[in-house]
Amino acid sequence: MIHSELPPSAKRSLFKEALSRDGLLQFPGALNPLSARLIEGHGFDGVYISGAVLSAELGLPDIGLTTLTEVAKRAQETSRVISLPTLVDADTGFGEPMNVARTTQILEDAGVSALHIEDQVNPKRCGHLDGKAVVDEETSVKRIRSAVDARRDANLTIVARTDIRSIAGFDETIRRAKALRDAGADAIFPEALASLSEYERLANEVGLPVIANMTEFGKTELFPASELRNVGVKIAIYPVSLLRVAMGAADRALSVLRSEGSLESLLPDMQTRAELYDLLDYESYNQFDSSIYNFSLPQAHEEPVRERS
């Protein structure tokens, strides 16, 4: 009801098991905890918590302006309300290796099942923009080692993200992915790959679960889930999709309100009150109240007589 019935440790263990099985896991990006419940209700495998979405919600560009506190708060709020695993964008770890270690433990305490640390220069920028820069291999390896060493739950999945593809080419992506694997990463997130064949080669040569970022208007084609599955991709994330759909709908609704004076024409497109209450599980809260607060006040003649001292 208020929290997921599964504790974080159980969700992490189930996620690790899922990574070991064949098939593709789909992780849509939640724009808030309520949308995470919607994702779960549609039967997806997990929820992605995007740094770009959090930045946008705060009215900021995705250039490393959000703080660890803000990310951890959203990670905890989202992980709390669902039984699905959550994968959170931890950017560059919010500092040097010691900061990465602290970031890992704080996000672990927030209840996530997995987090990814990237190799961009801090402060980072959106992975599908030009002009990115990455740190040297030694620094990227230290970040991942720090995260791996800092976790207390061995089932917390540490994902190494590399943005080197658009800077130094695909062969260098393979080389860096192998170095990150050797540093202890549980999965590899290669940003902005150019083709399905690149995903397939990376998965085969590195030997770790591979994540594909299916973000709209980016450098990577929006490959169907079936094609990603066929080339060995393990997780597909859709980081900003729900935010884009929601903001597009909100923009159009405001135009209608401005021009028509009401939103009556859009009622068929809205989530109904009943659907919202069902998503929030109102009935369980009502039953909880009834079972706890089931007392009745005694009648006057039933009250005990107290003796004066």
pLDDT tens per residue, range 83-131: 999 999 999 999 999 999 999 999 999 999 999 999 999 767 665 666 6
Residue 126 among the catalytic residues: yes
Alpha-carbon gap, residue 204 to 77, rounded angstroms: 36
Q: By the 8 A CB rule, do 108 and 122 touch? A: no
The mean pLDDT of 257-261, rounded to a whole number, is: 98
The mean pLDDT of 23-30, rounded to a whole number, is: 98
Question: For residue 306, what pLDDT is reported?
Answer: 47
Residue 91 among the catalytic residues: yes
Alpha-carbon gap, residue 64 to 95, rounded angstroms: 11
Candidate list 128, 213, 238, 244, residue with the active-site label: 213
The mean pLDDT of 2-25, rounded to a whole number, is: 96
Candidate list 118, 119, 163, 186, residue with the active-site label: 118
Residue 238 among the catalytic residues: no
CATH H-level superfamily of 8-241? Phosphoenolpyruvate-binding domains (3.20.20.60)
Per-residue pLDDT tens over the stretch 217-250: 988 999 999 999 999 999 999 999 999 999 999 9
Candidate list 12, 37, 116, 176, residue with the active-site label: 116
Return the exposure string of 127-157: e unless at least 16 CB atoms fall within 10 Å of the residue's CB, then b. Answer: bbeeebebbebeebbbbbbbbbebbeeebbb
Candidate list 12, 74, 143, 161, residue with the active-site label: 161
Q: What is the DSSP string of 145-202?
A: HHHHHH-SSTTSEEEEEE-THHHH-HHHHHHHHHHHHHTT-SEEEETT---HHHHHHH
From residue 100, alpha-carbon distances to 13, 51, 188, 268 in Å are 23, 16, 17, 47
Please count the helices (runs of H) and the strands (runs of E) in the chain: 13, 8
Phi, psi for 46 (deg, rounded to 5)? -175, 180
Candidate list 48, 155, 181, 244, residue with the active-site label: 48
Residue 282 among the catalytic residues: no
Where are the CATH 3.20.20.60 domain residues in the chain? 8-241
The answer to whether residue 291 scores a pLDDT higher than 80 is no
Q: How many other β-carbons are positioned within 10 Å of the β-carbon of residue 74?
A: 22
